[in-house]
C-alpha cells in the first residue's frame, strides 16, 4: 500500500509537471527565428512571457518550510522543464530557511511564520538598500494525523489536543476522548505524540492555535521551537508523518499532503454544528478571512485560529516565500523573479488544490503578484 501511494504521488507530480510545462511552453515567446526549434527552447530565451530574463542553466538555491515542499517540487518540475533553470529547494524547516536567507546563502526562503522584527533587521545586511519581505504563496490545513487501530473517525478539540501534546492525557481511552467520540471503540493504548525536532513554522502555527483557543491548557509562549512536555520528536513534516505511520497509538501534526496510507486525520470540534475535517476547501474558508497586517511590500497575514464558522478548519498555515524587496543578487534575481511570478500565477496556484494544498485567495494573491513585479 505504501509503495502504491508513493507511485500515485509520483504519477500525480509527474502529470502536473508535464501539464505545467506545457502551459508554460504555450505562454513562451513564439519568436524562434523561423528555425523550426521546439517551443521548449523558446521558453528558455530571455523575454519569454513566463521565463522572463531567466537563462537556461541558471541555478537557484532555496531552503525552508518542509510543509510546502511537495508544492515546491511540483512547481520546480514544471518551471525547470520549461525554462531550463535548476532550483534546489532543501525543505530543511522554516527556521533553517530564515537563518540561511539572512546569511546571504539563498535566492529565497520558505517559512510558515512571517519574519520577526529582529529577522527583518538582520535581512537588511543582505538586502542592499532593502529588507526581507513575506509573500504568502501556499495555504493549507495542518492535519493531526493519527494511527489508532480500529478508530476511523476521530474527533478532538483544542483542550484535548493541548493535553495530549503536553503529556497530560496519555491513553486513547481517556474519558475526555471518549466524550468526544461516544460511538468509537477506543483502545487502552498509550498515546505516542510526535512533534518537530527542528525549528518549524508548522509548530509555530499549531501552537498559535492552542494558545488562541485553550490558553488555560497550553501555557507556553509559542514559537518555532517545540515547548510541550514529553512526546517523541522527528525532523521535518516528512519525519513526523513517518513516525506516526510506523507507530501504533501515534499522533502528530503535519501538512495534509503528508497524510498517507496507515494514517487518518482528526476532525476538529470547533463549536460549529459539526466537526471539521482538514481539506483544501475547509482551509480556504479559514484563510479567506485572513487580514493583511504587514506594512509596505510585506504581506504578512493574520489568521483566525479561533474560527467557529461552519466548515472552516481552524488549524491552518500560510507559507511565505521570503525575498528582498530591493537589493537582491543580480546573478539570481531574474530566475528567482520568474519562478515566483509563475507560482503566484493562476496556473501556478491551480496546482495546489490537486495536491492537498489551498490556493491563496484572489484578493491576496493579486497583491502578491504586484509585489513580485516590483522587486529589484
51: number of CA atoms within 13 Å, CB side? 32
pLDDT at 14: 44
Residues 369 and 345 sit within 8 Å (Cβ to Cβ): yes
Work out the average pLDDT over 263-289: 95
Which residue matches cell numbers 513517518? 242
Q: H or E stretch including 362?
A: helix 362-374
Given a cut of 50, whether residue 166 has pLDDT beyond it is yes
Residues 337 and 375 sit within 8 Å (Cβ to Cβ): yes
Computed from CA positions of residues 343, 344, 348, 349, in that sequence, does the dihedral angle turn out positive or negative? positive
**Phi and psi at residue 247, to the nearest 5°:** -125, 115
Which residue matches cell numbers 493549507? 140
Residues 131 and 297 sit within 8 Å (Cβ to Cβ): no
**Phi and psi at residue 287, to the nearest 5°:** -65, -30
- Whole-number percent of the chain with pLDDT over 70: 87
Residues 190 and 165 sit within 8 Å (Cβ to Cβ): no
Of 22-36, 68-82, 187-201, the range with the lowest mean pLDDT is 22-36
Contacts of 221 (CB under 8 A, 6+ apart): 227
Given a cut of 50, whether residue 161 has pLDDT beyond it is yes
Given a cut of 70, whether residue 218 has pLDDT beyond it is yes
Torsion, CA 304, CA 240, CA 8, CA 362, rounded to 10: 20
Could you give the CA distance from residue 252 to residue 197 in angstroms, rounded to a whole number? 12
pLDDT tens digits for 310-359?
999 999 999 999 999 999 999 999 999 999 999 999 999 999 989 989 99
Given a cut of 80, whether residue 201 has pLDDT beyond it is yes
Is the pTM higher than 0.85? no
pLDDT tens digits for 3-18?
333 333 443 444 444 4
Radius of gyration of the chain (CA): 21
pLDDT at 50: 84
**Phi and psi at residue 2, to the nearest 5°:** -65, -45
Burial of residue 101 (number of CB atoms within 10 Å: 0-12, 13-18, 19+): buried
Work out the average pLDDT over 120-137: 98
Which residue matches cell numbers 509555530? 204
Three cell numbers, residue 66: 518542509
Given a cut of 80, whether residue 183 has pLDDT beyond it is yes
- Whole-number percent of the chain with pLDDT over 90: 84
Could you give the CA distance from residue 114 to residue 224 in angstroms, rounded to a whole number? 11
pLDDT at 48: 55
pLDDT tens digits for 83-107?
999 999 999 999 999 999 999 999 9
Per-residue CA distances from 23 to 48, 124, 346 (Å): 13, 37, 11
262 pLDDT tier (thresholds 50, 70, 90): confident
Q: H or E stretch including 123?
A: helix 117-123
SS3 84: coil
Instruction: State the chain's mean pLDDT as an integer.
Output: 89
Computed from CA positions of residues 283, 345, 10, 107, in that sequence, does the dihedral angle turn out positive or negative? negative
Given a cut of 80, whether residue 260 has pLDDT beyond it is yes
SS3 288: coil
Could you give the CA distance from residue 15 to residue 9 in angstroms, rounded to a whole number? 10
Residues 249 and 193 sit within 8 Å (Cβ to Cβ): no
Amino acid at each position: 500500500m505504501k509503495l502504491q501511494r508513493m507511485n500515485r504521488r509520483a504519477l500525480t507530480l509527474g502529470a502536473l509537471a508535464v501539464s505545467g510545462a506545457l502551459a508554460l511552453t504555450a505562454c513562451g515567446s513564439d519568436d524562434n527565428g523561423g528555425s523550426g526549434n521546439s517551443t521548449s527552447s523558446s521558453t528558455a530565451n530571455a523575454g519569454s512571457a513566463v521565463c522572463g530574463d531567466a537563462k537556461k542553466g541558471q541555478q537557484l538555491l532555496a531552503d525552508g518550510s518542509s510543509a510546502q515542499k511537495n508544492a515546491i517540487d511540483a512547481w520546480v518540475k514544471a518551471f525547470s522543464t520549461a525554462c531550463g533553470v535548476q532550483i534546489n529547494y532543501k525543505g530543511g524547516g522554516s527556521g533553517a530557511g530564515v537563518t540561511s536567507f539572512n546569511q546571504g546563502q539563498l535566492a529565497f526562503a520558505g517559512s510558515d511564520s512571517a519574519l520577526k522584527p529582529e529577522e527583518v533587521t538582520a535581512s537588511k545586511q543582505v538586502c542592499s538598500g532593502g529588507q526581507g519581505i513575506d509573500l504568502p504563496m501556499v495555504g493549507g490545513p495542518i492535519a493531526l494525523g493519527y494511527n489508532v487501530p480500529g478508530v476511523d473517525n476521530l474527533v478532538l478539540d483544542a483542550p484535548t489536543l493541548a493535553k495530549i501534546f503536553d503529556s497530560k492525557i496519555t491513553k486513547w481511552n481517556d474519558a475526555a476522548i471518549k466524550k468526544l467520540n461516544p460511538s468509537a471503540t477506543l483502545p487502552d493504548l498509550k498515546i505516542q505524540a510526535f512533534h518537530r525536532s527542528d525549528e518549524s513554522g508548522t509548530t509555530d502555527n499549531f501552537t498559535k492555535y492552542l494558545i488562541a483557543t485553550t490558553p488555560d491548557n497550553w501555557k507556553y509562549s509559542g514559537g518555532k521551537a517545540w515547548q510541550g512536555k514529553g512526546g517523541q520528536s522527528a525532523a521535518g513534516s516528512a519525519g513526523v508523518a513517518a513516525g506516526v505511520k510506523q507507530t501504533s497509538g501515534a499522533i502528530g501534526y503535519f501538512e495534509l499532503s503528508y497524510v498517507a496510507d496507515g494514517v487518518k486525520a482528526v476532525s476538529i470540534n470547533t463549536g460549529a454544528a459539526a466537526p471539521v475535517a482538514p481539506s483544501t476547501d475547509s482551509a480556504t474558508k479559514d484563510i479567506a478571512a485572513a487580514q493583511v497586517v504587514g506594512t509596505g511590500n510585506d504581506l504578512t497575514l493574520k489568521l483566525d485560529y479561533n474560527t467557529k464558522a461552519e466548515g472552516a478548519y481552524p488549524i491552518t498555515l500560510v507559507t511565505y516565500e521570503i525575498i528582498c524587496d530591493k537589493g537582491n543578487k543580480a546573478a539570481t534575481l531574474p530566475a528567482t523573479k520568474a519562478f515566483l511570478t509563475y507560482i503566484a500565477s493562476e496556473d501556478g496556484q491551480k496546482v495546489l488544490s490537486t495536491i492537498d494544498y489551498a490556493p491563496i485567495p484572489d484578493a491576496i494573491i493579486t497583491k502578491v503578484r504586484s509585489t513580485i513585479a516590483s522587486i529589484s
